[in-house]
Amino acid sequence: MTAALGGCGGSTESGDVTLRLVAADYGDSKANSSQKYWDALTKAYEAKNPGIKVEVSVYSWNEVDAKVKDMVADGDAPDMAQIGAYADYAAKGQLYKADDLLSINTQADFVGRLTEAGEIDRTQYGMPFASSTRLLFYNKKLFSDAGLTPPQTWSQLASDAEVLKSRGVKYPYALPLGPEEAQAETMMWLLSGGDGYTDTVGSYGIDSKQNVETFTWLKEKLVEKGLTGPVAPANLNRAEAFAAFTRGEVGMLNGHPTLMQAAAAKGVKFGMVPMPGVDGRSKATMGVADWMMAFKKPGHAEQVGDFLDYVYSEKNVLEFSHEYDLLPVTTSASEAMAADKSDADLVGFLDELPNAELYPVAKTSWASVSADIKQQIGKAVGPKGNPAAILGQLQRAAAAEENAA
């Protein structure tokens, strides 16, 4: 581990090694494909480390997780994978621990909240690679024309939505509970209601009293009053909600940093505030992270560690974050971004990250539970929906998955 502990950029003494990395594509076109980012990064790294070659294969988010799963099942695991979840592989003993790979400085530089989310039994296997938080976006022109101020409480949000509806706004509040990312919108509302997916000891508590009250409020105060738009929440996906916002058809919705650029490109003037809570701003917001992991089977811990120290250097973390409108996963890069006036629009998101609540990604059951939420939660606010019944059904399924895991 001498080379890894010495930090990035030093050449290794163990002969020529080729590392394979499978990574997700954060771009939305060929012009900004993540392949271009990795090609430039590996070229610079290989120039400093002639004994190591890094081959990166980039796949869309629709296929990258399945691709890695198949490779592992075929006994052909890559050295590294940058995907959406790590817990299954860690639980099977297939991953290196982070402290087997990274220099002390690199590991200590991760944002603390993200380090915790990458741990199982207080051992870190998942290394955060990209992160984001969410804020409530609102259309400044629609609000100004209606004489409204951005809401700080649920009742203010509902009141603002009523006024916007009376003025012909299609989506006073866009509530995307369609299968694309319903688990995210759901978690934001559960947190703003004072609870979440798990209880204080980490067990699933999807049908808690507070969570049922949250979805009952959504159904009665927003959906049944026609304040969530012409498309039923169960049929509204995040991508379409974002697109409607950039067309000026949405008064309010929860969004992440990439929505800023899309809205600005279409000339939509917007503001951003923390998610409202029952009696004031929400005490917690949702954070999301994607993960880097290293598989034991190829057996290149020293070289992988050296390469990852380079990947997580402040310069490279900032470059990736800027390219894809994401938040840095390291403290050093976060501080640099906060100090840069050109990143002023991201400060609100950065401020939320240290106290953000993440999905329960350390649970091997989470992938199945999340998929179930995506398919079922929209029914809770539907015409015949019963929030208590739907949340209870989701809780029973989650408990069964957790027991099986």
| Single-letter residue type at 147 | G
CA-nearest of 88, 84, 89 to 62 is 84
Measured CA to CA, the distance from residue 235 to residue 3 in angstroms comes to: 52
Place of tokens 């990250």: 353
Q: What pLDDT score does 31 carry?
A: 86
Domains and CATH numbers, the chain: 17-132+288-357 (3.40.190.10), 135-286+361-404 (3.40.190.10)
> Token digits for 153?
């409480």
Measured CA to CA, the distance from residue 105 to residue 307 in angstroms comes to: 14
Measured CA to CA, the distance from residue 101 to residue 112 in angstroms comes to: 18
Average pLDDT by consecutive 10-residue portion of the chain (405 residues)?
34 70 91 94 97 96 93 97 95 97 98 94 96 96 98 98 98 96 96 95 96 98 97 96 97 95 95 95 90 95 97 98 94 96 92 90 93 96 96 98 89
312-321 contacts at long range (C-beta below 8 A, 24 or more positions apart): 312/8, 312/102, 312/106, 312/109, 312/127, 313/8, 316/41, 319/37, 320/37, 320/130, 321/130
Measured CA to CA, the distance from residue 224 to residue 50 in angstroms comes to: 64
Place of tokens 């296997």: 125
Measured CA to CA, the distance from residue 236 to residue 147 in angstroms comes to: 28
Q: What pLDDT score does 15 carry?
A: 58
Q: What pLDDT score does 6 carry?
A: 33
121 close to 320: Cβ distance less than 8 angstroms:
no
In Å, what is the CA distance from 198 to each residue of 90, 157, 207, 286, 347? 21, 26, 10, 13, 28
Q: Which residues contact 299 (CB under 8 A, 6 or more apart)?
A: none
Q: Distance from first CA to last CA of the chain, Å, rounded?
A: 34
What residues pair up with 130 in beta bridges, in sequence order? 290
Measured CA to CA, the distance from residue 115 to residue 229 in angstroms comes to: 38
CA-nearest of 256, 288, 259 to 128 is 288
Measured CA to CA, the distance from residue 158 to residue 222 in angstroms comes to: 7
| Single-letter residue type at 358 | L
Q: Decide: pTM greater than 0.95.
A: no
CA-nearest of 163, 371, 192, 344 to 276 is 192
Place of tokens 């050109």: 342
CA-nearest of 347, 178, 193, 216 to 276 is 193
What residues pair up with 283 in beta bridges, in sequence order? none
> Token digits for 312?
């997580």
